[in-house]
């Protein structure tokens, strides 16, 4: 199976460097028309210039592709609306959105200002929502869309010193779950990446050089390309780094049922091992799953009485 994007239009945020640059170039090389979005700021979000986006767009155009540069801040609704409007005016549709823009303001939580907490949430989570909202109606009307959120192992599993970043990245999973359900009727597939790669955001984390050499952005881009293809799944979280790929799931243990007279903290403490046992876990398609599991246990208990 050959994957290409002939006739498709893509927006990639944070595409002036790192993962976003790799994503934009790869999409264009496979036929997509690309909006290369990048505010052009530093890793912490300060500053701004369109030059980074322009360089990537120029590279794509020189290689025979088609791209335009855009320096909209993903946190500014008017700027994002103008970016989407420019793409629609030029190409008449938007098929793919890769929410990749991000910043870092790492500190331990007791040293972190709430301003730094909010700013990281605004860029990663709210910014992804703003961009997705701006293209959502277009995708619904054309009965086609592919949206990717860039989550992180920090959101799935936690990393010391990244309470703000981890919260934003975990929030994307909740947004993906809801939009997967809302977009299904309109052939809009919504997925997430959980990547680790060598970029300017990771080079100062103390990762040994031999490992960094394997953590190429291109390895992550391969997973992104699949997640925005015609054959893409939906509601998939792909964990990827250094050529390794896995699917991450949120699951629940089978749990226990406690009758009304045993619904106490002492009983929960007594049966904590059984409650926590991973011998039998469940993956649910939506939020009704856990409730159905527990209601079935309650009914089974009642039938025994």
Residue-wise pLDDT tens digits, 282-303: 999 999 999 999 999 889 888 9
Choose one of 228, 248, 268: the last residue of a domain.
Answer: 248
Q: Percentage of residues in the chain with pLDDT exceeding 90?
A: 87
In a domain, 204, yes or no: yes
Tally of domains within the chain: 2
What pLDDT does 46 receive?
62
pTM over 0.85: yes
The set of residues, in sequence order, having a beta carbon less than 8 Å from that of 137 and lying 6+ positions away, is none
* Mean pLDDT, the chain, whole residue set: 94
In a domain, 4, yes or no: no
Instruction: Specify whether 5 is catalytic.
Output: no
> Packing angle between helix 127-142 and helix 163-183, nearest 10 degrees?
10
Q: Assign 40 to helix, strand or coil.
A: coil
Choose one of 248, 266, 281: the last residue of a domain.
Answer: 248
Find the catalytic residue in 5, 144, 165, 186: 165
145 and 274 part of one domain? no
Please tell me which residue, 274 or 203, carries the higher pLDDT value: 274
Please tell me which residue, 264 or 45, carries the higher pLDDT value: 264
182 and 212 part of one domain? yes
Edge to edge, the sheet with strand 237-241 lists 66-70, 33-37, 9-12, 96-99, 145-150, 188-196, 237-241, 244-248
265 and 233 part of one domain? no
What pLDDT does 304 receive?
86
In a domain, 27, yes or no: yes
Choose one of 223, 248, 273: the last residue of a domain.
Answer: 248
Contacts for 135-143: CB closer than 8 Å, 24+ residues apart:
135/11, 135/84, 135/94, 135/97, 136/179, 136/183, 136/188, 138/84, 138/88, 138/93, 138/94, 139/94, 139/95, 139/183, 139/186, 139/188, 140/183, 140/186, 140/188, 142/93, 142/95, 143/186, 143/187
151 and 219 part of one domain? yes
167 and 144 part of one domain? yes
30 and 144 part of one domain? yes
261 and 238 part of one domain? no
In a domain, 2, yes or no: no
**Nearest-5° Cα angle at 83, 77 to 86:** 140
Contact call for residues 148 and 128 (beta carbons, < 8 A): no
What pLDDT does 277 receive?
98
Instruction: Give strand ranges (E) for the chain.
Output: 9-12, 33-37, 66-70, 96-99, 145-150, 188-196, 237-241, 244-248, 252-253, 281-282
Which residues pair with residue 11 across a beta bridge?
35, 97
Least confident window among 71-75, 104-108, 118-122, 200-204: 200-204
**Residue 260 predicted with pLDDT over 80:** yes
**Residue 45 predicted with pLDDT over 80:** no
In a domain, 206, yes or no: yes
115 and 176 part of one domain? yes
Owning domain of residue 134: 9-248
In a domain, 1, yes or no: no
74 and 34 part of one domain? yes
What pLDDT does 200 receive?
56
167 and 296 part of one domain? no
What are the Cα distances from residue 71, in Å, to 36, 123, 200? 8, 14, 19
- The string of pLDDT tens digits covering residues 4-40 is 999 999 999 999 999 999 999 999 999 999 999 999 8
Please tell me which residue, 196 or 94, carries the higher pLDDT value: 94
210 and 270 part of one domain? no
Least confident window among 227-231, 241-245, 255-259: 241-245
In a domain, 231, yes or no: yes
Nearest-CA neighbor of 60 among 29, 38, 39, 20?
Answer: 29
**Nearest-5° Cα angle at 284, 279 to 285:** 155
**Residue 185 predicted with pLDDT over 70:** yes
- CATH number at 115 reads 3.40.50.720
In a domain, 143, yes or no: yes
237 and 115 part of one domain? yes
């Amino acid at each position: 199976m050959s994957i290409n994007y002939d006739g498709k239009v893509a927006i990639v945020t944070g595409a002036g460097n790192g993962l976003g640059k790799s994503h934009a170039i790869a999409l264009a090389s496979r036929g997509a028309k690309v909006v290369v979005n990048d505010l052009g700021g530093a890793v912490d979000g300060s500053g701004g210039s369109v030059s980074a986006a322009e360089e990537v767009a120029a590279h794509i155009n020189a290689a025979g592709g088609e791209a335009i540069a855009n320096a909209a801040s993903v946190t500014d609704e008017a700027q994002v609306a103008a970016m989407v409007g420019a793409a629609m005016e030029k190409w008449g549709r938007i098929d793919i959105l890769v929410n990749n823009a991000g910043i870092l303001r790492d500190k331990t939580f007791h040293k972190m200002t709430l301003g730094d907490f909010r700013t990281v949430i605004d860029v990663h989570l709210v910014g992804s929502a703003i961009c997705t909202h701006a293209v959502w109606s277009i995708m619904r009307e054309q009965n086609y869309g592919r949206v990717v959120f860039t989550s992180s192992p920090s959101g799935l599993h936690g990393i010391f010193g990244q309470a703000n970043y981890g919260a934003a990245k975990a929030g994307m999973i909740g947004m993906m779950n809801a939009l997967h359900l809302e977009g299904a009727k309109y052939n809009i597939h919504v997925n997430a990446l959980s990547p680790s790669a060598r970029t300017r955001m990771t080079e100062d984390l103390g990762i040994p050089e031999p490992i960094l050499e394997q953590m190429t952005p291109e390895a992550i881009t391969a997973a992104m390309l699949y997640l925005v293809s015609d054959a893409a799944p939906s509601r998939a979280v792909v964990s990827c780094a250094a050529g390794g790929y896995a699917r991450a799931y949120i699951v629940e243990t089978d749990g226990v049922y406690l009758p009304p007279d045993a619904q106490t903290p002492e009983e929960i403490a007594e049966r904590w091992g059984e409650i926590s046992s991973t011998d039998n876990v469940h993956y649910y398609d939506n939020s009704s799953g856990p409730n159905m599991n527990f209601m079935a246990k309650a009914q089974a208990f009642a039938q025994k009485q």
